[in-house]
Amino acid sequence: MSQSSRKKLLLMGRSGSGKSSMRSIIFSNYSAFDTRRLGATIDVELSHLRFLGNMSLTLWDCGGQDVFMDNYFTNQKDHIFKMVQVLIHVFDVESKSINKDIEIFIKSLTNLQKYSPDAKIFVLLHKMDLVQIDKRQELFNIMMEKLQKISNPYQFKLIGFPTSIWDESLYKAWSQIVCSLIPNINLFNNNLIKFNSILDAEEIILFEKTTFLVISSTASIKQQQLQQQKLLNGGGTQNGQQQNGEQQEETQDNSLDLDPKRFEKISNIIKTYKQSISKLRTNFNNLIIRGSNGTNFYIDILTENMFIMIILKNKNEIESDSGFKINQNEELLVLDNIRSARKWFEKIENSK
């Protein structure tokens, strides 16, 4: 069992493309500014990360200098490319020699096909902050089209992300990469929906504790369900969906108005907060914000490995005449609901 829960992730790309910087920001609490101190990675640097308790990731950060690269594709190829779950290939958008970059990408695809054909491939177009804002999307599309064409003969489906360490795009990419590895994601999703039907929240989001990557959220689940429903032609609505059918569509409308990048932004903000209070040599247990326009935020520990964030809207305004005390109690009620929810989620986590 421990064998199967150990995941091997290859992080590849040419030297200077920003591989180690990413790793340090997401998994070692570096700030973007700190990554300047990083030197070149020599050969392969292994890091073992525990994620969601019993899932352990081994991240192979492969140094990108040509000497090492040649070595990977010749002497070490069975060592490197065996049992790979995920390949994350990083392209530097500012790179002068794109042909060389692609050549290396093809080489690793060839090897992957031979040694671990089931691997998932993620492509990150990194250092996007160096491209003018209006040109980013276009550049990304062109590049992805090209790469997909190249990888077609190898029957891999690429998933690409534009990233930069200076904004939240990095969190989006890594959150999806890591989520693709969680085996019982559906259990989490179902329970989250159930929890939401009790709380009637604007939105609930689950985060992993140390990295603060988004695991799941009510909005994204609903989107998936909606897509599934469309596939089923809307004919037979299932039991679970029938219950909160109305709510779903309402909140669907709401979440369209909201910032589509909000998850990554939240990850980023909370990460900054964690770094900030590490100056006091501590960590945080919860964060409750009573917002300026009636939105309340609750961020609390859910399980040993997860944080939960609940966003409630406009609940206080109804009760505002009786004022202060009711607010206080509502706060307690929500926190208590979270505590009760802990039992469910801990069960799922331990069931693996």
Partner 1 sequence: MEAAIIPNPKSKDSNAQILLMGLRRGGKSSICKVVFHNMQPLDTLYLESTTKPTNEQFSSLIDLSVMELPGQLNYFEPNYDSERLFSSVGALVYVIDSQDEYLNALTNLSMIIDFAYRVNPKINIEVLIHKVDGLSEDYRMDAQQDIMQRTGDELLDLGLEGVSVSFYLTSIFDHSIYEAFSRIVQRLIPDLPSLEHMLDNLVQHSNIDKVFLFDVNSKIYVATDSSPVDIQTYEVCAEFIDITIDLDDLYIENEKKNPNKKNGRVVEDNNDETKELKSISHLSNGSTLYLKQMIRGLALVALIRNETFDNEYIDHSQDSNDNIANTTISDSEKSLTIIDYNVNLFKESLMKMWSSYKYSNNI
Residue 167 · residue 269 · CB < 8 Å: no
Q: Which of 183, 329, 347, 350 binds partner 1 (CB under 8 A)?
A: 329
Stretch that binds partner 1, among 42-50, 54-62, 139-147, 275-283 (CB under 8 A): 275-283
**Residue 217 Cβ vs partner 1, minimum distance, rounded to whole Å:** 13
Closer Cβ to partner 1, 41 or 305, answer by number = 305
Which tokens sit at 98? 């794109």
In whole angstroms, the minimum distance from the beta carbon of 332 to partner 1 comes to 7
CA distance 218 to 261: 15
CB 20 within 8 A of CB 61: yes
Report which of 227, 183, 190 is spatially closest to residue 206, judged by C-alpha positions: 190
Rank residues 186 and 272 by Cβ distance to partner 1 and give the closer one.
Answer: 272
- Residue 245 in the binding site for partner 1 (CB under 8 A): no
Can residue 31 be called a binding residue for partner 1 (CB under 8 A)? no
Between the CA of residue 138 and those of 30, 135, 162, what are the distances in Å? Answer: 30, 5, 11
CB nearer to partner 1: give 313 or 352.
Answer: 313
Q: How, if at all, do strands 55-62 and 44-51 pair?
A: antiparallel
Cα separation, 76 vs 68, in Å, equals: 10
Query: Mask of contacts with partner 1, 280-309, x by CB under 8 A?
Result: xxxxxxxxxxxxxxxx-x------------
Q: How many CB atoms lie within 10 A of CB 33?
A: 9
- Please state the closest distance from residue 329 (CB atom) to partner 1, in A: 7
Answer for which of 26, 87, 221, 266 binds partner 1 (CB under 8 A) is 266
Question: With contact defined as beta carbons under 8 Å apart, do 204 and 308 qualify?
Answer: yes
How many residues does the structure list for the chain? 352
Smallest separation, CB 303 to partner 1 (Å): 13
**Which tokens hold the place of 72?**
């990977």
Q: State the DSSP string of 77-146.
A: HHHHHTT-SEEEEEEETT-S-HHHHHHHHHHHHHHHHHH-TT-EEEEEEE-GGGS-HHHHHHHHHHHHHH
Q: How far is the CB of 293 from partner 1 (least distance, A)?
A: 6
> 331-350 mask for partner 1 (x: CB under 8 A)?
-xx--x--x-----------
* Binding of partner 1 by 279 (CB under 8 A): yes
Closer to partner 1 by CB, 81 or 307: give it.
307
Rule CB under 8 A: is residue 273 a binding residue for partner 1?
yes
The dihedral sign for the CA sequence 269, 270, 271, 272? positive
| 68 contacts partner 1 (rule: CB under 8 A) | no
Minimum CB separation of residue 324 from partner 1 in Å reads 8
Min dist CB 74 to partner 1, Å, is 42
Closer to partner 1 by Cβ: residue 25 or 266: 266
Residue with Cβ nearer partner 1 (187 or 270) = 270
| Residues in 181-210 that interact with partner 1 by CB under 8 A | 202
List 78, 259, 304, 319, residue binding partner 1 (CB under 8 A): 259
311 belongs to the binding site for partner 1 (CB under 8 A): yes
User: What are the strands of the beta sheet with 158-162, ordered from one edge?
Assistant: 44-51, 55-62, 6-13, 86-92, 120-126, 158-162
Count Cα atoms within 13 angstroms, Cβ side, for 210.
14
Least distance (Å) between residue 35 CB and partner 1: 14
Distance separating alpha carbons of residues 123 and 121, to the nearest angstrom: 7
Residue with smaller CB distance to partner 1, 108 or 196: 196
Chain residues binding partner 1 by CB under 8 A are: 202, 257-259, 262, 265-266, 269-270, 272-273, 276-277, 279-295, 297, 311, 313, 316, 324, 328-329, 332-333, 336, 339
